[in-house]
Amino acid sequence: MNESLTFDFCDVTIYDHYIIVIIKEGINVTSNRNNTLIQITETYFSNKPFIYISNRINSYSVDPKVYLKTSEIQNLEGIAIVSNNYQAKINAQIEKMFFKKHFEIFSELEEAISWADKIINPE
């Protein structure tokens, strides 16, 4: 499966066991926007384990409280943050404190995908 969706605040690509999200420049990810992302995962990954990959090619902010609700998604195995930006990586370290499942930070998208494969299919 490989399906792309576009919203006013992000672009989403859905794969078999992970989702890649690119939030648009200048957006503040709030509970309402997070709820949209949760609905997407409920539609495409109902009762199927998956990884959320945030490809941070743009500058935006995340309300850390969204991680509290996101961590309640039973079949969400982990989150990968992909960025080459120092400040984005520092922000991700702070966000990691609010999330109680697997949470890793990568410089390359391919590394995050490989990590997602290992989490979902640990062989």
| Token reading at 50 | 């998956």
- Span 83-102, mean pLDDT? 88
Q: Find the helix or strand (DSSP H, E) in which 28 lies.
A: strand 28-29
Report the 10 Å Cβ neighbour count for 119.
19
DSSP-assigned letter for residue 95: H
Domain boundaries of the chain, sorted by first residue: 3-120
Confidence of residue 14 (pLDDT cuts 50, 70, 90): very high
- What architecture is domain 3-120? 2-Layer Sandwich (3.30)
Confidence of residue 43 (pLDDT cuts 50, 70, 90): very high
Confidence of residue 75 (pLDDT cuts 50, 70, 90): very high
Distance between CA 92 and CA 60 in Å, rounded?
A: 12
pLDDT above 90 coverage of the chain, percent: 68
The pLDDT, as a whole number, for residue 67 is: 83
Taking Cα atoms as reference points, which of 14, 12, 8, 41 lies closest to residue 26? 8
